[in-house]
Each structure stands twice: as C-alpha cells, then as structure tokens.
C-alpha cells in the first residue's frame, strides 16, 4: 500500500521532486520505491518526458485502480469514525448561483440541530459542480438540470417558471411580456461553461415559434447578468427564485405570457460513494412528505 501511495502521488504531481515534497520525504527512496514496484509488476508505469513523469498505458490502469482504492479507504475511515458518534466535522456543499435561495434556510435549520458541523460552500455551474462531486471535493450539490445522472443519486426540487427581467424604464407599467416582444430586445442569457443547460432550453422555445432572438451576451453568472440589466444594457430570462433575494431597484420582473418555460433543479450526490451522516441529514431537509430519493 505504501508503494501504491507513492506511485499515485508521483502520477498526480507529474514529478518526483514535487511528489517527495508532498509526501515529506527525500527523493532517492521515492525513486527506489517506484523502481521496486515496476520490478514487482514487470511493467513500466511512468516514463520521463522532459521534466515531467507521464503514465504509460499500464501506469494509467494502475492509477485509476489506485484512485478507487484510496477513495474507498477514505470513505471507510469516515464511516467507521461516524459509527456511534454525534454529527461533527465539515460538510462541503456546491450550489449553482441561481439555486442559492434553497440553501440559507436549510443551513439555519441544520445548524440548530447539529451545531458541531461546519460548512464549506462552493459555487459553480452544474457541469463544474458535477466535476467537484466526482473529484470528491464536495459531498453534495444543488444544481439546475439537465445533467447526466448515471453516476449520481438525486432528489428533485420543485419546478419553477422562468421569468423575464427588464430594465424598469423598458417595462413601464406592464406586468407581462410575450416571447415575440422578448425576441426583439437585446437579451443577456445564462449559458453554462460546458454541456447543455438553460440557454439551450430557452433558445428551443424561441425556435419552436420561429423566432430568432437578439442575444448580445452569454454568461454563467446570474448576478452579473442582473447587474447588466440594472444598467439598462438588456433583458434576461431566468428562474424566478434567482431574483427573489436581490435588491436591484432598476429592474422589473415580468411574466412570460405565451411561453411556459420550466426550470428543474435537484440535490445530487455520488451514487457509489459512502454518504456521510451529515450529508444524509442535510439532504433529508429537502425531502417533502411522500417524495423519494432517486438512485
């Protein structure tokens, strides 16, 4: 296991020097350990390419297996430590910015029940948060769908409608707006850094009715878009809850009267990972009576 840990660290760092520093040991015994492992397995695991150490095909197989082994060991240690003990430690939560309205009340309730838990919050789009889950950087995440769910368990959150947000001077006294009127305005739309998301959903609604919207800005951050609307640069289309807690006096929310665009959200976590008691209890706060967890 020690040899495997040394090999895994060298592969991660890409250099014997950096790996030795991370492991708090000298370089010669680390190099000897790698050589001994390669001799035992009768294959070359890492090859030097300039200043970097790169995995061979055999090395890549071992690296992936080692990663699973160490993740399983970490989960086992967590599970054993939690057995028979009260909840404590750190809970790492990811959240899409436009979903953040779900988090504060749940954190308050959770803190009242489990005062020894501390939180680490990470923000990003759905694709990025799924990556952080796979890398085990976070325990769970609140995201906007769609998302590939093969490796994930999830709990659906209530659906909500998209609304239009316009500069106040553009909206005048109107309470709603048609999708045809929106297509004529300069639009600022949410767009994920990677993958299919709300941008494609909104564009599909325009395409269905034969409209070509005037999209002047795409951005993954809802707060930035709303600040631009506040400055009178354009209008946006966002899930209603993304606006509820913000105090921007230069914008007006309007119902889209002839297009029922629905945003779906979910709490997600890794299907094959031990879910800590604190993560399980936090997810339970999102459950409503009669609903169930998907896996």
State the Cα–Cα distance between residues 105 and 84, nearest whole angstrom: 28
At residue 2, the 3 state secondary structure works out as helix
169 and 258 both lie in a single domain: yes
Structure tokens at 20: 């030795």
Final residue in a domain of this structure, among 54, 82, 110: 82
pTM value? 0.71
33 and 115 within one domain: no
In what side-by-side order are the strands of the sheet with 117-123? 117-123, 89-95, 140-144, 265-270, 152-156
Question: Does the pLDDT value for residue 152 go beyond 60?
Answer: yes
Residue 288 confidence class, pLDDT cut points 50, 70, 90: low
Q: What angle do CA 244, 246, 251 make, to 5 degrees?
A: 90
In the chain, the N- to C-terminal Cα span, in Å, equals 32
143 shares its domain with 276: yes
Read off φ and ψ for residue 16, nearest 5 degrees: -65, -40
Query: How many domains does the chain divide into?
Result: 3
Each residue of 171-207: pLDDT tens digit? 888 899 999 999 999 999 999 887 788 899 999 999 9
Cross-strand pairs, 218:
189
| CATH of residue 154 | 3.40.190.10
């Amino acid at each position: 296991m020690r040899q495997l840990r040394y090999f895994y660290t060298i592969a991660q760092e890409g250099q014997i020097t950096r790996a030795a520093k991370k492991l708090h040991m000298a370089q010669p015994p680390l190099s000897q350990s790698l050589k001994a492992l390669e001799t035992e397995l009768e294959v070359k695991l890492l090859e030097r390419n300039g200043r970097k150490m790169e995995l061979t095909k055999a090395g890549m197989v071992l690296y992936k297996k080692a990663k699973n082994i160490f993740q399983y060991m970490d989960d086992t240690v967590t599970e054993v430590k939690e057995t028979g003990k009260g909840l404590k430690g750190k809970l790492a939560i990811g959240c899409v910015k436009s979903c953040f309205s779900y988090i504060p009340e749940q954190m308050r309730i959770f803190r009242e029940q489990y005062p020894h838990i501390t939180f680490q919050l990470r923000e990003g789009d759905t694709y990025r948060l799924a990556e952080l889950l796979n890398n085990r950087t976070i325990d769970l995440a609140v995201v906007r769908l769609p998302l590939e769910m093969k490796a994930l368990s999830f709990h659906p959150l209530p659906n909500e409608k998209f609304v239009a947000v316009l500069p106040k001077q553009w909206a005048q006294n109107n309470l709603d707006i048609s999708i045809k009127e929106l297509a004529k305005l300069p639009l600022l739309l949410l767009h994920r850094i990677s993958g299919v998301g709300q941008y494609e959903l909104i564009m599909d609604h325009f395409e269905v009715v034969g409209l070509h919207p005037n999209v002047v800005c795409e951005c993954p951050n809802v707060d930035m878009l709303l600040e631009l609307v506040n400055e009178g640069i354009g209008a946006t289309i966002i899930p209603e809850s993304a606006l509820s807690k913000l105090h921007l006096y230069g914008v007006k929310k309007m119902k889209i009267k002839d297009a029922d665009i629905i945003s779906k959200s979910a709490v997600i976590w890794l299907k094959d990972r031990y879910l800590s008691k604190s993560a399980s209890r936090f997810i339970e706060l999102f459950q409503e009576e009669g609903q169930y967890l998907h896996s």
